[in-house]
Homo-oligomer: A and B are copies of this chain.
């Protein structure tokens, strides 16, 4: 019998007990100023403190785990530990959201054209020597004449990883998040046909643009990096629109 300990009216929406427990735990996290790595009370303690059954507590913890806020471990001194929610949770949420929505290539690239120059300007003064070396390696891997794979899709992947690495170096988590989301949506959704025949223009453009970007990065010139990136995305956009592309929505829901 759920005795409803707080006789709230709650005529609009009834919150389940596990959801209440989950919110209480969240509130406890905020008010206790808990940080990543701190441990939550164990199941037994939560059962006592909240006065609910074990299944209810576990359901609440499962909700927090599904949001990526905690991980749990077994054994003595085990239990739930606060963690930084992984990027994959955001990607999953956005992928689910977009699955039933129409996706078109033009606006995806329009968005890239808006945010990627900002990313280039952000990282221009922040890239370490190791970062620059890794980017150089990826540039090579994206062109067949400079050590890249013979498979067009693998070269395309190296191109996208180049942009992912820039996002990794970004000082703004939100800007990095948007750029990575765009990269992954493009990765999952866009399929380019006729990849083999006569598409070396794509390889050449990527190689040339990325190399120009590296020059701006090494000069620590944020504004030049921004301009080069804008031009790069515009060219890529034009080539993508010109090629026979199609949207493959199915992959959005998978790989969770």
Most B C-beta atoms less than 10 A away, residue of A63, A97, A101, A107: A97
Closest residue of chain B to A102 (Cβ to Cβ) is B173
A118 touches B108 (CB 8 A): no
Q: Determine how close the nearest CB of chain B comes to the CB of A177; give it in whole angstroms.
A: 7
Taking CB atoms, residues of chain B closer than 8 Å to A118 are: 110-111, 114
* A104: Cβ under 8 A from any B Cβ: yes
Contact of A96 among B27, B69, B99 (CB under 8 A): B69
Count of A interface residues, CB-CB < 8 Å: 54
Taking CB atoms, residues of chain B closer than 8 Å to A196 are: none
* A53: Cβ under 8 A from any B Cβ: no
Closest residue of chain B to A115 (Cβ to Cβ) is B114
Taking CB atoms, residues of chain B closer than 8 Å to A177 are: 94, 97-98
- Give the CA-CA distance A230 to B15 in the complex, in Å: 42
- Give the CA-CA distance A99 to B90 in the complex, in Å: 13
Known: A93-B93, A94-B90, A173-B103. A66 touches B63 (CB 8 A): yes
Taking CB atoms, residues of chain B closer than 8 Å to A29 are: 253
Taking CB atoms, residues of chain B closer than 8 Å to A97 are: 68, 84-85, 87, 89-90, 173, 177
A111 touches B254 (CB 8 A): no
- Give the CA-CA distance A69 to B252 in the complex, in Å: 13
B35 touches A100 (CB 8 A): yes
Residues of A within 8 A of B (CB): 22-23, 26-27, 29-30, 35-36, 59, 62-63, 66-69, 84-85, 87, 89-90, 92-94, 96-104, 107-108, 110-111, 114-115, 117-118, 122, 171-175, 177-178, 182, 185, 250, 253-254, 256
- Some 26 contacts from A to B, beta carbons below 8 A apart, are A23-B256, A26-B253, A26-B254, A26-B256, A35-B100, A59-B62, A63-B66, A67-B93, A67-B96, A84-B101, A87-B97, A92-B93, A93-B94, A104-B172, A107-B171, A107-B172, A107-B174, A108-B172, A110-B175, A111-B115, A111-B174, A114-B115, A114-B117, A115-B115, A174-B182, A178-B178
